[in-house]
């Protein structure tokens, strides 16, 4: 069994080769990165228009919404950068090329996901960090070492939630001929994450908290820094929720790769 250090070394070797190949098409990388940057900031325009008409959204003001959205941008970046290959799994399964991942002595998820890295996602990550700093200054948030550690922990947990939800949706390709609608719906649902859960009715709020925990991608963990006195105790279980959901997703992945038998040709 390979050690963690060996996997880290292999990952950097694989990604270095991938980046070298991608840099042969620098214009494509630059254009797509610019597109990612502006698409990431598009929601800010929606907030600006919205708050020109109203003073607050379910009690949350404009700058608080900017903080939540910045948290969201950072939290979804690991999925965008490191797990982007999940979008291609249906093609590999349909074409029979997924079989190659069975023939190397590596963890299959590691082997599959490491084949692609979405560099333009770094633009989204950078924009999120800048926005978070800006909103923090405007909101006069005093960052202590404890708060910074809490921020990193909650961002890690939030990233795991999105990765797990998207991974489970992507794994539908092992059992469904056209799995894109499932994956597309899961990815679309993330757009609800940067909005206050209080704007949804009881059924949706319950679903986004306990069934498909979209609220833990941005809104609930952001409360720890914006309104700590109003936080539900459930928010402090974010790491457990993130790790638990990822463990379930990994089991779904394992069931999928164990059930796959190729194209039959």
Q: Could you tell me if residue 118 is inside a domain?
A: yes
- The answer to whether position 201 is within a domain reads yes
d(CA 7, CA 24): 26
In a domain, 253, yes or no: yes
**Closest by CA position to 113, among listed 1, 216, 259, 10:** 10
Asked whether residue 230 is domain-assigned, the answer is yes
Contacts for 205-211: CB closer than 8 Å, 24+ residues apart:
209/234
The number of folded domains in the chain is 1
Please state, in angstroms and rounded to a whole number, the distance separating the CA atoms of residues 92 and 107. 17
Range of the domain at 92: 4-259
Q: 3-state SS of the chain?
A: CCCHHHHHHHHHHHHHHHHHHHHHHHHHHHHHHHHHHHHHHHHHHHHHHHHHHCCCECCECHHHHHHHHHHHHHHHHHHHHHCHHHHHHHHHHHHCHHHHHHCCCCCHHHHHHCCCCCCCHHHHHHHHHHHHHHHHHHCCCCCCHHHHHHHHHHHHHHHHHHHHHHHHHHHHHHCCCCCHHHHHHHHHHHHHCCCCHHHCCHHHHHHHHHHCCHHHCCHHHHHHHHCHHHCCHHHHHHHHHHHHHHHHHHHHHHHHHHHCCCCCC
Predicted confidence at residue 47, as pLDDT, reads 80
So what's the pLDDT on residue 28?
Answer: 66
**Do the domain assignments include residue 101?**
yes
Q: What pTM did the predictor assign? A: 0.89
Check residue 7 and give its pLDDT: 83
The rounded distance, in Å, linking the Cα atoms of 18 and 37 is: 22
Place of tokens 């963990």: 221
Residue 187 belongs to a domain: yes
Asked whether residue 265 is domain-assigned, the answer is: no
- Sequential pLDDT tens for the chain (265 residues): 678 788 888 888 887 777 777 667 666 667 777 777 777 777 777 788 878 888 888 888 999 999 999 999 999 999 989 999 999 999 999 898 999 999 888 899 999 999 888 888 888 899 999 999 999 999 999 999 999 999 999 999 999 999 999 999 999 999 998 889 999 999 999 989 999 888 888 899 999 999 999 999 999 999 999 998 888 788 888 899 999 999 999 999 999 999 987 655 4
Give me the pLDDT at residue 41, please: 72
Give the residue from 132, 175, 154, 143 showing the smallest Cα distance to 217: 154
264 within some domain: no
CA distance 201 to 66: 23
């Amino acid at each position: 069994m390979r050690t963690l250090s060996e996997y880290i070394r292999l990952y950097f070797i694989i990604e270095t080769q991938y980046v070298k190949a991608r840099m042969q098409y620098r214009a494509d990388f630059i254009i797509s990165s610019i597109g990612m940057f502006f698409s990431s900031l598009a929601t800010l325009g929606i907030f600006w228009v919205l708050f020109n008409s109203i003073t607050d959204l379910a009690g949350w003001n404009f700058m608080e919404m900017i903080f939540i959205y910045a948290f969201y941008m950072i939290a979804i970046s690991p999925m965008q950068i490191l797990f982007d290959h999940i979008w291609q799994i249906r093609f590999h399964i349909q074409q029979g090329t997924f079989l190659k991942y069975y023939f190397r002595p590596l963890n299959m998820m590691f082997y599959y996901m490491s084949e692609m890295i979405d560099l333009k996602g770094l633009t989204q990550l950078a924009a999120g960090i800048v926005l978070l700093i800006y909103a923090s200054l405007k909101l006069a948030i005093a960052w202590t070492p404890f708060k910074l550690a809490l921020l990193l922990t909650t961002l890690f947990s939030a990233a795991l939630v999105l990765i797990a939800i998207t991974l489970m949706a992507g794994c539908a390709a092992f059992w469904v001929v056209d799995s894109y609608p499932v994956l597309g719906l899961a990815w679309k649902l993330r757009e609800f994450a940067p909005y206050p859960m209080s704007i949804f009715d009881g059924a949706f709020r319950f679903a986004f908290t306990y069934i498909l925990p979209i609220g833990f991608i941005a809104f609930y963990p952001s409360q720890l820094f914006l309104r700590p006195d109003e936080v539900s105790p459930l928010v402090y279980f974010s790491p457990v929720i993130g790790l638990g959901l990822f463990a379930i997703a990994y089991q779904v992945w394992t069931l999928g790769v164990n059930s796959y038998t190729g194209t039959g040709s």
